[in-house]
Amino acid sequence: MNTDDLIDIGFEPISSFTIMNSFIYKLGRYKHISISNIGTTNEMVWICERNAQNEKEITDAICIHNYDFNGFLTKEKLKNLINVLDDLK
């Protein structure tokens, strides 16, 4: 996968520069999926919860995919993850 694939799925680059080249997919209710370093051996996926008063502040994060343990993320796996999380809204 690459950044074009993420954008096709509905991810957006974050508005500020980071060294991790992060993208987010908004889930609603102050939650989002964060992906960083897609297509590299530093690839990670997180479910994050933002502070209701300050959306730039992450109050909780759970790593759900890490290249070191899971290998490269596939487009199919990412779409399945989004479908499951969207059903929980």
Other CB atoms within 10 Å distance of the CB of residue 60: 12
Supply the pLDDT for residue 5.
94
- Domain carrying residue 32: 3-87
The number of domains in the chain is 1
pLDDT tens by residue, 1-14: 899 999 999 999 98
pLDDT tens by residue, 57-69: 999 999 999 999 9
Other CB atoms within 10 Å distance of the CB of residue 59: 11
pLDDT tens by residue, 23-81: 999 998 899 999 999 999 999 999 999 999 998 899 999 999 999 999 999 999 999 99
Pick from 28, 84, 20, 78: nearest CA to 52: 28
- Give the 3-state secondary structure of residue 83: helix
For residues 50 and 18, the model is more confident at 50
